[in-house]
Each structure stands twice: as C-alpha cells, then as structure tokens.
Amino acid sequence: MWSKIVTRRVFFKVRFCSSLVPDEPEGPCVLTDVPGPCSRKLKKDLGKDQYAGEVTLFGNYQKSIGNYLVDADDNVLLDMFSQIATLPLGYNHPELLKLFQDDKKLKTMINRPALGVFPGEDQPKRIHSLVSQIAPCLPKINLMMCGACANEQVFKNVFIAYQRKKRGQEGFTDEEKTTAVINQPPGAPNLCILSFCGGLHGRALGALASTHTKYIYKIDYPSLDWPIAYFPRYRYPLDENERENIEEDKKSLAHVEELFATYKKKETPVAGVIVEPIQGEGGNNEASALYFQELQKIIKRNNAYLVFNEIQTGGGSTGKFWCHEYFDLPVPPDAVTFSKKFAVAGYFHSDELTPDKPFRVFNTWMGDPGKVIILEAIIKVMREQDLLDNVLKVGARLKCGLVELEEEFCEIMDSVRGVGTFLAFNIANEELRDTVLHKLLRKGVVLGRCGESGLRLRPALIFQEHHADIFLDILRQVLKQCK
C-alpha cells in the first residue's frame, strides 16, 4: 500500500530510519492542493446535513499510519497536531489494531454498560489497575465522556467537599432541598471556581465559564460571574529574562490573592482553582515550579481546592506522564483531569473530594470500557517502548532545531517554548502565522494554532528524531518563503 503512494512523489528524501510503527512512509507526499478536490467535495456533502465550518480536510483512516495522516486525496501528511493533541500512538498502531480481535474485549466494547450502575464484573480489577499504574498520587478515579465533562463534574466534587466542610456531617435541610431544584441558595449556594486568562477548560456551559481563550467559543452565551486571574506571560529565552518572568509570577499570584478576597467579600467564596500546568490553546504559556508551589499555598490558606487540568499536558508529551510532576509540589493537588491521549476522559481525586451520596456526580455512561481497554494498551506500549524517554530525546532535538530557526529568522519567529515535544513558537503576527500554517500543510506538515500568533507542536509519543528532521527542514523552507 505504502509503496504505491510514496513512489508517486516524495518531497524529502530521508535516510532509512527504523520507525516505532512498521510500514510508515519515508516522508510526506503531497499530490494536490490541501485541502484537495476530494476533501472539498466531501465538505460540501457533509455540509448539507451537518454544520461543517470547522472541517480542514477529510482523513482516510484506513490508510493513515504512525505519524502520517493520509487524507481523502491520498496526500500523506506528517501529523504533528495528532487530532488536536490526542493519539499517543499515532494511526493504526499494531498493538491497538489487534485489541478487539479478542472476543472478551469485543463484548466489553459493544455491550457498553452504564458503568455507574451496571459495571461489568471485570471493572473493579480494571479500575484498580489504572489507578495503580497512572494515578498522580491520588487514590480515586472517576471516568467521564470528554474533557469539558470531566472538568464540569470535578467542579461538583469540589463544591460538595467545600460545603461538607462548612455543614459538617449534618444532612441537608428541607430548605436546601427545595431551593436546590429551583437554582436558589442555600441549596444552590453562591460559590465559584477561579480560572485564568488564556485558560481553556471546555465548551459546555459550566466549563465554558472558566474558559478564556477565544471569544467565538463564548459569544451570545450567558455565563457565571466567576473570577478570572491574570496568568504569567513569560519572555523568552527564559534564562535571559529571569527577572521579568519572576515579576510575572508575582503579578499573577497577587491577582489570585486579590480575587480570593474580593469574592469572599461578595459572599461568593472561591471553592476551587482550575489551571493547566501549561496553557495549551491559550498559547503554550508556562509558569515556573515556584509559581505553582506558591499558588497551591494560597489555595490551601483559603480552604479551597486545586484542580490541575492535564487534558492536554497529561499522558506523556511533556516527557513526564503528568506535567505537574515538574513542579515538586509538597503535597499532591486535589484533583487532576484527563482526556485526549488517554482515549477516555475523567479525573483522579483525593479521598476528601469523594461524594457522599449516589447520583451527585453522575451521567449515563460514566466513561467507556472500550476506551479503557485502549488506554490499557497505550500504557503498555508506552512502557515497553520507553516512550517518555523518546519524547525527551526528540523534544530536545526539536527545540534545538526551533531555536536555530528562531535565530536565523528572528524577524518573523520568536519565543520557542515548552517541554518535551509539547512545544510552540510565535510568528510575527496572526496573518503571517496563518500563512505559515497553510504553507506547511501544503508541504505535508500539520501543526496547530495557539495564542494570538503561535503555532503548537503536538506530535504523537511515537514521533522520532527522523520525523523531527523532516519537519525542521520543511519549516525552514516555509520561513524562507515568508521572510
């Protein structure tokens, strides 16, 4: 199959390298404009029945393999955005392909039970195995449907625990029961979640109240009066801007303190803080370990809870399984949410955040056992192929290459940042950034946007050094054209 596609026209000759996924093509191969005529027609067809405004191109997921996305026009694209930072093992990984040939696993997948009420008999073992293998020092897990769903539900765990501290062990009053149903206090109390400018936590209404990236996600929707704190905006390179960046940390922390006080005064205390260890869509915005240590102290002083949103950072692309492991926190956070690379969404949380009654944190499916089977296989491959190590090695090569390009094209490229392969850089302005993105696509490389004028790299964990070289070579050609 591959020989047929790649011999038609290969853009970049690459020396033979062994790939972590067998049968990967040697490089990108672009045959048409991207999106090509087939993708454009399919978009028109889909648009007749479903809003398709966001569609970039159509994939051929039979042919896509490893780090290469094959589109409907047979273009072979080096995919460094991995379906919006998902796909840890790329496309059609052999270990995942064989999973559902096992009859037991197939039946677990197709008879998708409502896990909250009728879990399969193998569920306790499965969940225990997950917690013991990947939990970030937190004893409990709760599976959900998507990132926004995980964040919204964990807010409820936070509110339950906050109110329980206040109420003690006494049960609900009659007044609480009747007012809860009609959205009034004391049953529906005035509490809030603090989030940060540039943070993204999802597009369902509750999660959206804590999302502050693009107006298009929010416009026309009523929202909650929840506090939004300033998030540090670092200058790069970090070692040349230490003093300014420490000031950024201080500015953000002072704002958090101020908002805790303001909302307490308004009698809508902050029950929890949600934060991404590195803001993803908001711009790959980092903050120091010291910053997060201080943030945790402020939260604890105010009897609130810290939730790390590791939906984009979790699962290995920073070179650690959980990005917040870089922060050396003296005690674990109260909850950590996940999705994307985990195949299934959900969160880990402390014992204190466990609900005390059924149906307080609930939905029909409570995750998906089929996706848990995929997650188990992902973790196994990550271990066997030492993929965290691979990410660190490849990430170093990518970053070094990007810094060299930044020096060569300093008038249009700056602020290379991030850890592992969770990297980004800025282009001089939004319009030029979009031009670079489209030119890359037409040369067979898929990247994602972030922040005002940033481009983010979100390759799979199986992305290797020879892929990095192909990418850097193509990026250099594009930057030369845009100079």
Ligand X SMILES: Cc1ncc(COP(=O)(O)O)c(C=O)c1O
Residues engaged in binding ligand X (CB under 6 A):
84, 146-148, 200-202, 276, 280-281, 309, 311-312, 339
Question: Quick check: 341 and 382 in contact, CB under 8 A?
Answer: no
For residue 107, the one-letter residue type is: K
Residue 135 Cβ vs ligand X, minimum distance, rounded to whole Å? 19
Bridge-based pairing of strands 448-450 and 445-446 is unpaired
Residue closer to ligand X by CB (options 182, 219) is: 219
Residue closer to ligand X by CB (options 201, 449) is: 201
Question: Quick check: 283 and 454 in contact, CB under 8 A?
Answer: yes
Residue closer to ligand X by CB (options 295, 311) is: 311
Residue closer to ligand X by CB (options 279, 453) is: 279
Residue closer to ligand X by CB (options 201, 443) is: 201
Residue closer to ligand X by CB (options 151, 302) is: 151
Residue 362 Cβ vs ligand X, minimum distance, rounded to whole Å? 18
Residue closer to ligand X by CB (options 26, 281) is: 281
Residue 437 Cβ vs ligand X, minimum distance, rounded to whole Å? 17
Q: What is the Cα–Cα distance from 313 to 340, expressed in whole angstroms?
A: 9
Residue 4 Cβ vs ligand X, minimum distance, rounded to whole Å? 35
Q: What is the Cα–Cα distance from 67 to 60, expressed in whole angstroms?
A: 14
Residue closer to ligand X by CB (options 203, 393) is: 203
Residue closer to ligand X by CB (options 417, 466) is: 417
List residues bridging with 450 in a β-sheet: 454
Residue 21 Cβ vs ligand X, minimum distance, rounded to whole Å? 25
Q: What is the Cα–Cα distance from 247 to 244, expressed in whole angstroms?
A: 5
SS3 content of the chain, % helix, strand, coil (to 5): 40, 15, 45
Residue 41 Cβ vs ligand X, minimum distance, rounded to whole Å? 28
Residue 326 Cβ vs ligand X, minimum distance, rounded to whole Å? 16
3-state SS, 406-454, equals HHHCCCCEEEEEEECCEEEEEECCHHHHHHHHHHHHHCCEECEEECCCE
Residue 452 Cβ vs ligand X, minimum distance, rounded to whole Å? 17
Residue closer to ligand X by CB (options 131, 146) is: 146
Cα→Cα distances 1→23, 57, 401, Å: 9, 21, 32
List all residues 6 or more positions away from 308 whose beta carbon is below 8 Å from its beta carbon: 274, 275, 276, 277, 322, 323, 324, 333, 335, 336, 337
Q: Which residue is nearest to ligand X (CB)?
A: 147
Q: What is the Cα–Cα distance from 432 to 483, expressed in whole angstroms?
A: 10
Residue closer to ligand X by CB (options 52, 188) is: 52
Comparing CA positions, the residue from 369, 367, 311 lying closest to residue 337 is 311
Comparing CA positions, the residue from 84, 65, 77, 66 lying closest to residue 33 is 77
Residue 310 Cβ vs ligand X, minimum distance, rounded to whole Å? 8
Helix pair angle (103-110, 369-384), 10° resolution: 130
Place of tokens 């094959």: 70
List residues bridging with 307 in a β-sheet: 274, 335
The kind and range of the H/E element at 194 are strand 192-196
Residue 449 Cβ vs ligand X, minimum distance, rounded to whole Å? 12
Residue 164 Cβ vs ligand X, minimum distance, rounded to whole Å? 26
Q: What is the Cα–Cα distance from 161 to 264, expressed in whole angstroms?
A: 17
Comparing CA positions, the residue from 98, 9, 30, 99 lying closest to residue 438 is 30
Three-state secondary structure call for residue 303 = coil
